[in-house]
Amino acid sequence: MTQFVFDKLSIEPAESVRYYLNLNPEQRICLNDYLEKPIDLSTSHQIHCVHCGKKLKKTYQNGYCFPCATTLARCDLCIVKPELCHFHLNTCREPEWGLRHCMQNHYVYLANTSGLKVGITREKNIPTRWLDQGATQALPILQCQSRLIAGLCEVAIAKHVKDKTDWRAMLKGDAQTMDLQAEAIRLLALAEQDLSLIKKEKGEAAFAVTSGFEPAHFIYPVVRYPTKVVSLAIDKAPIKGTLLGMKAQYLILDTGVLNFRKWAGWQGVSSAF
């Protein structure tokens, strides 16, 4: 029996994207090797905070205990709504963490997940961020001085395109290929007035249109997509089935799909690995 802790799957770009289940800091299993094989996953129902390790009855914010969820900057509302970043007001929960993670270069990007969407990411998270979302194409379009600036630009562009992925549609197959460079030109033109106001308030150097990037393309290790998406939950019963693929942070089985990251902090067990 292999024991592990549910958390974010490690993903690496390759000719076909490679997925890894982390057993410990020095050992991991390549899930690509288990495609079309039976797997089983269950839990001992032991849960620990992914930050402090405290034993829990339930988690908050994808794996945290309540105290951590209410005190860590990475669990603040501005993480999901970066336009609300308040570092400049000296009210960040963890100023040193905010300096390392938020007051750094960020990119606004276009991605093709369940269709066209806009998002933001730190430079160091390219292309991991796109893979985590199940993007088959992605292209940075703006380079911004901080997370706040990127969030404001994202809001401006999101008036004209989605900023969220329809996860069910994403798991039913790859979206139709599109010309992201042409879409970038179109959306930047539509958002020009709002983007100009951001520069007027934050300065001319706040952000710049990117150059030198070519659209990235990704192929996911999926043997067959489901026609109907059934969400699986490890707290209800052991999960068994044939592994048909991985996309974003989901395992696709012939019995349903499992959002692996959702169960962060839960102790897992498998006899298949």
Which tens digits make up the pLDDT trace of 180-211?
A: 999 999 999 999 999 999 999 999 999 999 99
Task: Say what the pLDDT of residue 269 is.
Answer: 94
80 in any annotated domain: no
The answer, yes or no, to whether residue 255 has pLDDT greater than 90, is yes
Residue 154 has pLDDT above 90, yes or no: yes
Residue 90 belongs to a domain: no
Asked if residue 97 belongs to a domain, the reply is no
**In the chain, pLDDT over 70 holds for what percent of residues?**
100
Which tokens in the block code for residue 195? 């983007």
Residues 150 and 193 in one domain: yes
Whether 188 contacts 141, CB under 8 Å: yes
Q: Flag whether 81 is in a domain.
A: no
Q: Is residue 87 part of a domain?
A: no
Residues 203, 118 within the same domain: yes
* Mean pLDDT for all residues in the chain: 96
Give the whole-angstrom CA distance, residue 249 versus residue 64: 18
* 165 plus 122 within the same structural domain: yes
**What's the pLDDT band for 1 if we cut at 50, 70, 90?**
confident
Q: Are residues 119 and 150 in the same domain?
A: yes
Residues 115, 191 share a domain: yes
Given a cut of 90, whether residue 24 has pLDDT beyond it is no
152 in Cβ contact with 198 (< 8 Å): yes
> What integer pLDDT is reported at residue 220 of this predicted model?
98
Q: How confident is the model at residue 26 (pLDDT cuts 50, 70, 90)?
A: confident
Q: Domain check: are 245 and 210 in the same one?
A: no
- Domain total of the chain: 2
Residues 199 and 113 in one domain: yes
- Domain holding 183, by residue range, is 104-217
CB of 144 within 8 A of CB of 105?
A: yes
Least confident of 22-31, 61-70, 143-152, 196-205: 22-31
- In angstroms, the CA 271 to CA 273 distance is 6
The verdict on residue 77 lying in a domain is no
Mean pLDDT, rounded, for 143-147? 97
Q: Same structural domain for residues 141 and 181?
A: yes
Q: Indicate whether 196 and 254 sit together in one domain.
A: no
Structure confidence at residue 127 (pLDDT): 96
CA atoms within 13 A on the CB side of 155: 13
For 64-123, the pLDDT digits (tens) are 999 999 999 999 999 999 999 999 999 999 999 999 999 999 999 999 999 999 999 999
- pLDDT band at 260; cut points 50, 70, 90: very high
Tell me: do 153 and 240 sit in the same domain: no
CB 79 within 8 A of CB 271: no
